Amino acid sequence: MSLNLLMLGPPGAGKGTQAERFARSRGIPKVSTGDILREAVQTRTPIGLRAMEIMNRGELVSDDVMIGIVRERLDRKDAAGGFVLDGFPRTVAQASALDSIMIGRDPLIVIDIVVPEEELVRRLSTRLICEVCGANATVKNDRTCERCGGRLMQRTDDSSAVVLERLKVYHQQSEPLVEYYRVRPTFRSIDGAQPPDRVAEDLAAAIEAANHQAVRHGAPR
């Protein structure tokens, strides 16, 4: 049985870090929309070229293009044993499209990482990233990336005012997504305000419980 995982959570919840950590531990790909969008553009696939035209016009990539890119990525052989989705879906419309993509596959396990807003603002407004590889800083008193040695800097969209606006947009657009999945037996919420190792432990336990529930009750695919 393949393990198909969707990570939800607001900016700063740590879902990207946890998704990468879990995917690596299970030997399955972490599918980030930012990564696969860049790859589709770079490899100049037909749908990647469509995305490039849209972005060159300064427009947001439409749902149908993003859905097509995700479908293309999940159809690859390395995702046959499972995957971890990070950053998709962002809306109920995209979630409905993902349900169609999942037809014939093992159930989708959905984990929502919950963190209080004041903690999110603190994390994001003090976050540093590497200007070379894009990794989040793990050491706050050093301006050198542990992964590649690049210089660490603050993202332009991590100022307190911008962070609050990003969280407002998240609540408007993505909270309906949580409600969309909440009724499913494969949905779980975990506390993301804990230390990363504890969050990872709770994540693994939640996934195991949701997977057991899916097998026991034959959750829809």
Q: Which class would CATH give 3-29+76-217?
A: alpha beta
Mark whether 15 is an active-site residue.
yes
User: What pLDDT is stored for residue 207 in this prediction?
Assistant: 95
Mark whether 166 is an active-site residue.
yes
Mark whether 155 is an active-site residue.
yes
Cα distances from 20 to residues 86, 141, 159, 171, in angstroms, run 9, 24, 25, 24
Domain regions of the chain by residue span: 3-29+76-217
Considering the candidates 21, 30, 73, 166, report the single residue annotated as catalytic. Answer: 166
User: What pLDDT is stored for residue 221 in this prediction?
Assistant: 44
Mark whether 90 is an active-site residue.
yes
Considering the candidates 26, 71, 90, 105, report the single residue annotated as catalytic. Answer: 90
User: What pLDDT is stored for residue 157 in this prediction?
Assistant: 55
Rounded CA separation 95/173 (Å): 12
Cβ neighbourhood burial of 63 (10 Å; 0-12, 13-18, 19+)? middle
Mean pLDDT, consecutive 10-residue stretches, the chain (221 aa), reads 92 90 95 83 82 80 87 93 93 94 94 92 81 68 77 70 82 87 95 96 95 69 44
The pTM assigned to this predicted structure is: 0.80
Considering the candidates 71, 127, 147, 184, report the single residue annotated as catalytic. Answer: 127
Considering the candidates 26, 71, 147, 155, report the single residue annotated as catalytic. Answer: 155
User: What pLDDT is stored for residue 113 in this prediction?
Assistant: 96
User: What pLDDT is stored for residue 158 in this prediction?
Assistant: 58
User: What pLDDT is stored for residue 218 in this prediction?
Assistant: 58
